[in-house]
Structure 1
Amino acid sequence: MPDKATTRLTQRDIARLAKVSQTTVSLVLNNRSDASARIPAETRDRVLKVIRETGYQADPLARRMVQQRNQILGVFTYESVFPSSSGDFYHPFLAGIEECAERLGWDLLLFTSAPVTAGRRRIFHENNRLRIADGCLLLGRHIPGDELARLIAEEYPFVSVGRRDDAGGPVPYVGADYAPATRIVVERAQALGHRRIAFAGPGAGAESSADRLRGFRQAAGARAPHLPTVDRSGGDLLDSLLDQKVTAVFVEERTDAVALLAAATARGVDVPADLSVIALGDSTRPAESDIDLTGFHVPRRAMGLRAVELLEAVLSGTATERQLLLPCELTDGTTLTSPKGV
């Protein structure tokens, strides 16, 4: 029997060891109901026994060819992501998608013909070309639940880049594990002596927002202030924090944290001596700052890469888990220290 540690087995090897034809091995591997029914149970069991004993794994590209797939991966974005610079929020996602697609031998197809309705793109429209692709990745902070539900109902293979839970059924996704990352940075601030802390950001409207607020509440409790940031300047937010004598603020959107830092500098408020500022992720809107913010980064490149791997597994029928959360990258930064007097 070939040494599986040093030799990559082929279907021809399996056929020789099982004393059957290579066609029989292919039919068993791909569970072809039309033809495999004509394979005697004893023969089928013998092939499966050899596969188990040798640890053989079918080549993904070969499986795709047998399944008559187009080897095209669709990418649908609910927000504009092209052109994308290296500093753009979506760039790492797309880099991870491209890297994995190239490794698996996929072509990428960006769906750009979707019309904008009520300010939002819709994947379903009269000229949609979803069926050209074998499956599709969905990118966007706000993905309509009705479209997710329809994709599930129509059994169209897709994976959401980001956790989704509003489709009335399980959505396959690869997301960031925001809640524990947020809880950890809050606990870190508490260990330094911070007791008057606050959350700044929407905290709702998208799963990523809700997850951050949930992680904050797990450590800070229900009574810690939650300050909205929508249509609010950095100066206005700073005023609210100072009025409530907050010593550490956890900001959902890094852009809002940068605006808060600028307002603090203009007012002569020392960060972090007077106010510690912790960023819960990366900027989804343009924001430039040389300050190394304490907090965490979203594993965007890894999310894009793992989303392609999950979609391949869904298409191949080998997916054991369809919902993955990846850990965020904690960063020490320079904007968190003990409050004065501690």
Structure 2
Amino acid sequence: MRSNIKDVAKLADVSISTVSRVLNSPNLVAEETRDKVFKAIAELNYTPNALARGLIHKRTQTLGVLIPDISNLFYAEILRGMEDTAHRLDYNLILCNTDNNKPRLLASLKVLKEKQIDGLIFTSEPIYPDYNELFQQLQIPVVLAATHSLEFEIPSVKVNDEQAGFEATEYLIRNGHRRIGMIAGSMMDPVTAVPRLQGFMRALRTYNIEADYETCVQNGNYRFEDGYEAMGRLLQKSPDLTAVFASSDERALGAISYCHEHGIKVPDDLSVIGFDNTRLAVMCFPKLTTIAQPLYQIGQLAVEKLDNLVQGKQVGELRTYIAHELVERQSVAKI
């Protein structure tokens, strides 16, 4: 049978409140009393209950994280940054996969509330008014990672997707490409898909390249199979393309796979640039030139911001944009 704090107090011959002080503020307890309590804890193999300790400090040292698709490699490095930082700051993380599903998101928030988390990190999805209302009902700090909100005053960490989209397209242009297509995200996604498309179109305008949106852009989701299918549709409409900007690495790999299966050599016949710099970027052939998001740093800064809020400190800038970079590999050729 598992020991509890009453058992420890009885064995050490002290009060329950004294055991609590030893666990939470040992410097306030006499050394002799501390030694008796620690000896009793060791004998009983007692492990303090986090929620019980939270009743004293009004904190449980746990943070909730909502992820829309935990199977996507994009989140692996972000979560690593969160986990390492949470460990350093003495927090535990509770991860919930929402599967881009609102009922599942609501169920996850209910569970996190019952767990009495100290704060919440919300990743990637847009912040709709009803989501913001839910956050307010939780009455805990919230930080956004790889997303942001211009409508609501919620701290966030992400890259400048519009500028990154511009630089990806500009790189293709500077390598001599003028017939450029894009495999974009859903236009229902104002966080990443729309800004990256805007950056793509701005680059074409800047360099006076005419583009017909209907023939040079294909929209879809972020999966490999979506990139594969979009590449087929794109080449059917614009068979003379020499380069494609795929707005995620998974999409880019799908595009490269389509080309390989249809006798189109990358980059000799068609250049492809991706976005994110996940581990997939170096697992394909040719290795993928891509826009690198500092995924680990996004996770790290999100937890640090949230820790400041939990402790009642200021977060500094509300919306933090961190630098991206272009990583050159072998999937883009000069023409």
TM-score (norm. length: structure 2): 0.68
Q: Of residues 245, 254, 261 in structure 1, which corresponds to 2:256?
A: 261
| Counterpart check, 1:148 vs 2:148 | no
Q: Structure 1, unaligned stretches of length 5 or more?
A: 1-64
Distance in 2 (CA, whole Å) between partners of 1:234 and 1:148 is 35
| Counterpart check, 1:180 vs 2:171 | no
Cα pair 1:313 1:319 within 8 Å, conserved: yes
| Counterpart check, 1:323 vs 2:307 | no
Task: Report the equivalent of 1:73.
Answer: 62
Cα pair 2:67 2:96 within 8 Å, conserved: no
Task: Report the equivalent of 2:154.
Answer: 171
Distance in 2 (CA, whole Å) between partners of 1:115 and 1:192 is 38
Cα pair 1:235 1:264 within 8 Å, conserved: no
Cα pair 1:75 1:139 within 8 Å, conserved: no
Distance in 2 (CA, whole Å) between partners of 1:285 and 1:331 is 13
Cα pair 2:227 2:250 within 8 Å, conserved: no
* Aligned-partner SS, 2:74: coil
Cα pair 1:297 1:328 within 8 Å, conserved: yes
* Aligned-partner SS, 2:185: coil
Task: Report the equivalent of 2:88.
Answer: 103
- Give the direction of change, closer, same or farther, for the CA distance of 1:137–1:126 in structure 2 (3 Å limit): closer
- Greater helix percent: which structure? 2
- Give the direction of change, closer, same or farther, for the CA distance of 1:296–1:76 in structure 2 (3 Å limit): same
Amino acid across the alignment from 2:59 = N
- Give the direction of change, closer, same or farther, for the CA distance of 1:71–1:324 in structure 2 (3 Å limit): farther
Distance in 2 (CA, whole Å) between partners of 1:261 and 1:118 is 33
| 1:213-256 C-alpha deviation (Å, 9 max, x unpaired) | 12112211383522224585726624633642111110113222
- Give the direction of change, closer, same or farther, for the CA distance of 1:203–1:80 in structure 2 (3 Å limit): closer
Q: Of residues 236, 244, 247 in structure 2, which corresponds to 1:249?
A: 244
- My pick for the range that moved more, 124-133 or 239-248, is 124-133
Q: Structure 2, unaligned stretches of length 5 or more?
A: 1-53
Distance in 2 (CA, whole Å) between partners of 1:284 and 1:228 is 24
In the alignment of these two chains, the number of paired residues is: 268
When the two chains are superposed, the root-mean-square deviation of aligned CA atoms in Å is 3.5
Task: Report the equivalent of 1:94.
Answer: 79
Cα pair 1:75 1:109 within 8 Å, conserved: yes
- Please state how far the C-alpha of 1:115 moved relative to its aligned partner: 11
Amino acid across the alignment from 1:158 = V
Percent of aligned pairs sharing the same letter: 21
* Aligned-partner SS, 1:215: helix
TM-score (norm. length: structure 1): 0.67
| Counterpart check, 1:275 vs 2:270 | yes
- Please state how far the C-alpha of 1:157 moved relative to its aligned partner: 0.5
